Structure 1
Amino acid sequence: MARIFLLLAIVLGILWWLRDRAGTRQTAEKQEPPPRRTGAGDENIEPMVQCAHCGVHLPRGDAIAWHGLHYCRRSHLPDMPGEGDHGTRS
């Protein structure tokens, strides 16, 4: 009979410990909300542009601007100035 009470006490102790541990974790999550990104006042955000040849989006600082259009690499620039397929895929 004593073994049953000892086993019951051990099981209840483990359950109590797990419940306390879960409650502590939830309390910590409530106290520290995740950082919010509002976009206002963030100077590190660059506008995205689309490559006129393949359609890939990339930051404006990484793009090659040519005749008012943006390209992701030099090989996507049209072959002849004034000619080429601006915005169409080949």
Structure 2
Amino acid sequence: MARIVLVLAVLLGFFWWLRQRAEARQAGERDARPPRPRPQSQPQPAPQEPMVQCARCAVHLPRGEAIAYRGLHYCRRAHLPPDSDADNPAA
């Protein structure tokens, strides 16, 4: 009977040792892995500018890039009406 208890104690000790060794190996692997990159928040898009349409060719462009003349918008100086002052299109 004492032999059985001694064999069981040795076996339990052996399995406990194997388990400790496996846990230490797993902990070492976790430490060796590079850290997972955190998802970065996406950059906020720039506020959008209202679009306007050229009175001559009907192309759409941002209001800041358009030439305003007598309540209408134009995409370039060449599209301004002939009676406009080409040197001062924003008048």
Q: TM-score, normalised by structure 1?
A: 0.43
Larger RCO (CA under 8 A, 6+ residues apart): 1
Larger radius of gyration: 2
